[in-house]
Every structure is written in structure tokens, then in C-alpha cells.
Chains A and B, each alone.
Chain A
């Protein structure tokens, strides 16, 4: 059996918790600094250790680690069909990501381009999770509808 480099099943709950914790923190920050962190009181000098930058890195890491854990934790039974579905979903996520990236690069400029790049940090993972969970849901629904057959 080849190693599949996935996180244990239960780490998904930790990932979901990280994403859920990240949302109110980010909303509160955006409420107090509505102009974005570039224009926050700390200014540009020494930005690496400025509170806004550290906050940005902290929340981004929280969200990314959360999305990673949800996306790449094992299913209860991680068999070859699940591996296939994972690969398909990953392919669609990459297609969508590059379509949006190209569209953004062509039709935006300046700070708008930065927003597209920031979007690209989490969009592929989010799309992967949604697509993967959707096909698993459909698979389970199909199996349930054939339950009478399985019991003979």
C-alpha cells in the first residue's frame, strides 16, 4: 500500500474549528480597520513585525491550516475510489484557480491584482473541499438509494 500523505480523520474537526475561529477575528479586525491593513496606524516602516502584518499572517495561517486539514484529512475508508475523486476534485480546483488568476491578471491592475492573488491563496482549497464533499455526498446518496439491493 502506497503512503497517501493525508492527515488523520479527526484532524478535520480541528481544521473546521480554526476556520470558524478565524472568521469572527477577521470580521472584528475589518470592522476596526476598514481601510485594510496597509493603511493601518503602524505605517510601512518595520512592517514585518508591525501588529497589522503579524495579524494578517496569523489569520491567514489560521485559515490556511484549517482549510488544509479539512481538505487533506483521511476519509473513514480511504479507498481507491476516494483517491480518484480526490484527484478529480484537485484537477477542477486547479482549473478554476488558474482561470480566475488569468482573468484577474488580464482585467485588473495595481492593488486589485493583489486582491486576486490573496483570493488565490484560499480559493483552490475551498473549491476542492466543496467539490470533493459534493461528490462524496452524491456517492453516499446513490449507495443509500440502492440499500434494498445490498440487503438482497
Chain B
């Protein structure tokens, strides 16, 4: 699964730490999600999407290998 978290953060001029604070996880977790080392739960994905005011699908997308 790929994501556009880094881009969304850049648009909002938001640091990893600020996003982490808003969704209640550590900065390391946000970093892992951005570098595709960790796939967030549905709950966390929804929280992240809400911060950026977008739907989950606009931020997280399935890749061919996931199908």
C-alpha cells in the first residue's frame, strides 16, 4: 500500500511530530507509515484522513501487489 502522507504534510506545512500529536501516535510511527514500513490500522488511517480533510482513499492507495 502506498500513501501520499508526505505530500499532504508538505501542503499543510506540518511536521511529522505535529501530525503524530494530532492523531495520538509517536513520530516514529508516522515516519514508518511514510516510508511504507508500517501499514496503519483503519482507525489510524481515518484519523489521518480527517486531519487533512480528505477521504482515506485519497491518501492511502492499494498497489498491484496488494491485489
Q: Which chain A residues have a beta carbon within 8 Å of chain B's beta carbons?
A: 75-77, 79-82, 84, 139-140, 142-143, 146, 149-152
Contacts and interface: CB of A to CB of B under 8 A. Distances in A.
* Tier of interface size on chain B: 20 to 34
Contact of A81 (B13, B24, B25): B25
Nearest to B32: A81
Q: Which secondary structure characterizes the binding site on chain B? A: helix
Main secondary structure of the interface of A (DSSP, over half): helix
Given A77-B26, A80-B25, A81-B32, A150 B16 contact: yes
Interface of B: 6, 9-10, 13, 15-17, 20, 24-29, 31-32, 34-35, 37-38, 40-41, 43-44
B41 A80 contact: yes
Given A150-B16, A151-B15, A143 B40 contact: no
Given A81-B32, A146-B16, 7 more contacts: A80-B29, A80-B43, A81-B25, A81-B26, A81-B28, A146-B35, A150-B31
